[in-house]
């Protein structure tokens, strides 16, 4: 704190004069975690960037009658009451650098591996702009993951939002990574958004992707637990804003958000601390809008580029009908449900075929893939339903039709089993399953 002279007003004017580009000045009046209240700053704008001198930066989240509420996004050292707060005259934003590709970065374009900022940093907004309905076109080009249980049965198209949902340790992240690794040679930019992961986990992901040559076209955008809640809350939006830049250059972008369950919980934390009224399960009323506005960034743009989003949601006890999960299911264009039971039985990826859906389905498949996929899926679902009802019936007592249905069903389950990072190209996939659908390799069953 500067010296308190006999004439505080004169001191303050002097202080202001010594600093350039000051739009407004205030002092920290109250603090609660990362939310501070500032007195003064009469001329500040809503969502304007402000900084607590040399200590922290944040944005204006509320302009009250006497004070201004600021949420701190990045704090270098502890903030104290009466610290000076200055306005910046510009909307709060993040940073992005074209050099981020191949690196692990945060929302301020800091290279997490070296701890340095990139030289060529551009200021970008946090909240992505709404993409108007008329700027979108049909989602109809396939985005291959190399996994037959996805590409063939629950396909993903460029511009689609496909949820990956399941319990802990059922292979959710792996599907995202498989999809990223499979984009090699496709001129696609991939963004893997890691939220609240441990540094070790993120480093492992980096090494995995690096060893498969996938980092050449991938940005890992990370917010760790110790970066604080506001940073965790904003990082997915910044990620989609970056995706937007590439989409507008006409590129296809694949974004994996790992994961939105944590994001919802962080948003709840911030909202409750800020004194918002809690709603269902104590989430604020606008948690649906939070995720809807985020995932609506996924689209096939009329100018050629696209953003495909694979958000990940973690469930407990296989319960996909809780509040946050159903919210996100109702936003996305389909969901890939992973089942712990199938995972334990050795099915990889552990897709729950009954619960998974792709709303776009055949629209994003080639005609060959579509016809094979539809046949195989129908046969598999019919088998799974029969298996459920006749679980305890002895196979020898069944009639010929039923026995054949069951043998073929089991064979399909075997065929879609795939180990991680072992993609199958679309042509091979069609060939393999077309032969089966025709009953060609039935003798070998």
Partner 1 sequence: MKIGKILTISNMSVAILLETFEVSVRDTVWAESDGRRVFLEIANVNGSIANAIPLGSIYGLKKGLDVHLRSGGLQIEYSDNVLGHVFDSFGGLIDGGTIENPRTKNIYEKNLSMAEINISGDMLLTGIKALDFFAPMQKGFKMGLLGGAGIGKTVLIKELINNVYKGWGSNSVFVGIGERSREGRELIDDMLESDLLGKIGIVFGQMGEPAISRSRAAQSGLTVAEYLRDEQSQDVLLFVDNIYRFLQANSEISAELGNIPIESGYSTTLMTEISEVMERINSTDTGSITSFQAIYIPADDMTDLAVNAIMTHMDGQVVLSRKIAEKGIYPAVDVFNTKSKLIAVDRVGERHFELVERSIASFARYQELEEVVAVLGIDELSEEDNHTFFRSRKLRNYFTQPMFVSEQYTGLPGRYVEIEDVLNDVEDILGGKFDHADEDEFYYIGAISR
Q: Is 48 in the site for partner 1 (CB under 8 A)?
A: yes
Would you count residue 18 as binding partner 1 (CB under 8 A)?
A: no
Q: How many C-beta neighbours within 10 Å does residue 14 have? A: 12
Q: Measured between alpha carbons, how far is residue 374 from residues 38, 152, 379, 388, 431 in Å?
A: 60, 8, 9, 21, 15
Say how many residues make up the chain: 445
Stretch that binds partner 1, among 4-12, 246-254, 278-286, 309-317 (CB under 8 A): 278-286
218-251: burial string, b at 16+ Cβ within 10 Å, e else: bbbbbbbeebbbbbbbbbbbbbbbbbbbbbeeeb
Site for partner 1 in 132-161 (CB under 8 A): 132-134, 136-139, 159
Binds partner 1 by CB under 8 A, chosen from 101, 273, 362, 404: 362
Binding of partner 1 by 354 (CB under 8 A): yes
| DSSP 8-state class, residue 7 | -
Residue 51 makes contact with partner 1 by CB under 8 A: no
Residue with tokens 């944040």, as numbered in its chain: 58
- Which has the closest alpha carbon to 274: 262, 261, 289, 286? 286
Known catalytic residue: 359?
A: yes
CA distance 407 to 409: 5
User: Pattern of binders to partner 1 over 157-186, x per CB under 8 A?
Assistant: --x---------------------------
Omega within 30 of 0 (cis) for the link into 259: yes
Q: Does 374 bind partner 1 (CB under 8 A)?
A: yes
Told to check if 23 binds partner 1 by CB under 8 A, we report no
Looking at beta carbons only, is 101 or 406 nearer to partner 1?
406
- Per-residue exposure over 285-297, b if at least 16 CB sit within 10 Å of its own CB, e if not: eebbebbebbbbb
Is 280 among the residues that bind partner 1 (CB under 8 A)?
yes
| Tokens standing for residue 23 | 């739009």
DSSP 8-state symbol, 150: I
Helix ranges (DSSP H) in 119-185: 148, 172-181
217 DSSP 8-state letter: G
Q: How far is the CB of 437 from partner 1 (least distance, A)?
A: 12
Kindly state the DSSP code that residue 152 receives in the 8-state scheme.
I
Q: Among residues 393, 410, 438, 440, which is the contact residue for partner 1, using CB under 8 A?
A: 393
Q: Contact between 381 and partner 1 (CB under 8 A)?
A: yes
Task: Please tell me whether residue 335 binds partner 1 under the rule CB under 8 A.
Answer: yes
Does residue 361 bind partner 1 (CB under 8 A)? yes
395 binds partner 1 (CB under 8 A): no
Per rule CB under 8 A, is residue 366 in the interface with partner 1?
A: no
- Please report how close the Cβ of residue 438 comes to partner 1 at its closest, in angstroms: 16
Q: Among residues 359, 370, 387, 404, which one is catalytic? A: 359
Q: Which is nearer to partner 1, 59 or 95 (CB)?
A: 59
Near partner 1 by CB under 8 A: residue from 27, 62, 184, 404: 62
| 102 sits near partner 1 (criterion: CB under 8 A) | no
Binding residues with partner 1: total (CB under 8 A) = 76
- For residues 224 and 138, give the distance between their C-alpha atoms in angstroms, rounded to a whole number: 36
- The half-sphere exposure of 12 on its side-chain side, counting CA atoms within 13 A, is 9
Tally the C-alpha atoms within 13 A of residue 142's C-alpha that lie toward its C-beta.
22
The answer to whether 124 contacts partner 1 (rule: CB under 8 A) is no
Closest contact distance (angstroms) between CB of 292 and partner 1 is 4
Choices 168-176, 192-200, 218-226, 287-295 (CB under 8 A): range interacting with partner 1: 287-295
Nearer to partner 1, 373 or 423 (CB): 373
Rounded Cα–Cα distance for residues 222 and 106 (Å): 5
Stretch of 14-22, 190-198, 329-337, 407-415 lying at the interface with partner 1 (CB under 8 A): 329-337
Active site residues: 359
């Amino acid at each position: 704190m500067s010296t308190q002279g006999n004439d505080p007003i004169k001191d303050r004017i002097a202080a202001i004069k010594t600093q350039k580009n000051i739009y407004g000045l205030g002092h920290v009046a109250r603090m609660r975690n990362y939310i501070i209240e500032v007195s003064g700053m009469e001329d500040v704008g809503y969502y304007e960037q402000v900084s607590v001198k040399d200590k922290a930066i944040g944005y204006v989240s509320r302009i009250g009658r006497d004070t201004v509420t600021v949420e701190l996004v990045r704090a270098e050292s502890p903030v104290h009451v009466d610290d000076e707060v200055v306005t910046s005259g510009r909307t709060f934003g993040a940073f992005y650098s074209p050099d981020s590709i191949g690196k692990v970065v945060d929302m301020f374009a800091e290279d997490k591996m070296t701890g340095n900022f990139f030289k060529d940093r551009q200021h970008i907004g946090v909240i992505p702009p709404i993409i108007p309905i008329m700027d979108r076109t049909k989602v109809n080009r396939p985005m291959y993951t190399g996994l037959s249980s996805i590409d063939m049965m629950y396909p993903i198209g460029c511009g689609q939002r496909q949820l990956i949902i399941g319990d802990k340790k059922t292979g959710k992240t792996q599907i995202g990574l498989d999809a990223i690794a499979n984009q090699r040679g496709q001129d696609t930019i991939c963004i893997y958004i890691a939220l609240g992961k441990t540094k070790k986990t993120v480093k492992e992901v980096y090494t995995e992707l690096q060893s498969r040559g996938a980092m050449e076209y991938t940005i890992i955008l990370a917010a760790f637990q110790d970066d604080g809640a506001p940073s965790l809350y904003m990082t997915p939006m910044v990620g989609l804003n970056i995706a937007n830049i590439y989409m507008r250059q006409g590129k296809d972008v694949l974004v994996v958000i790992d994961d939105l369950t944590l994001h919802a919980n962080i948003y709840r934390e911030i909202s409750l601390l800020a004194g918002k009224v809690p709603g269902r399960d104590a989430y604020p009323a606008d948690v649906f809008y939070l995720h809807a506005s985020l995932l609506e960034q996924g689209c096939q743009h009329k100018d050629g580029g696209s953003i495909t989003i694979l958000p990940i949601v973690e469930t407990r006890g296989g319960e996909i009908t809780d509040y946050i999960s159903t919210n996100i299911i109702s936003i996305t264009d389909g969901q890939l449900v992973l089942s712990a039971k199938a995972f334990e039985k050795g099915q990889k990826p552990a897709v729950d075929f009954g619960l998974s859906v792709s709303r776009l389905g055949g629209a994003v498949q080639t005609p060959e893939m579509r016809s094979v996929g539809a046949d195989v899926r129908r046969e598999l679902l019919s088998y799974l339903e029969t298996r459920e009802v006749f679980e305890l019936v002895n196979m020898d007592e069944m009639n010929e039709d039923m026995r054949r249905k069951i043998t073929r069903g089991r064979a399909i389950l075997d065929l879609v089993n795939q180990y991680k990072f072992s993609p199958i190209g679309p042509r091979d996939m069609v060939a393999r399953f077309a032969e089966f659908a025709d009953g060609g390799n039935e003798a070998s069953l």
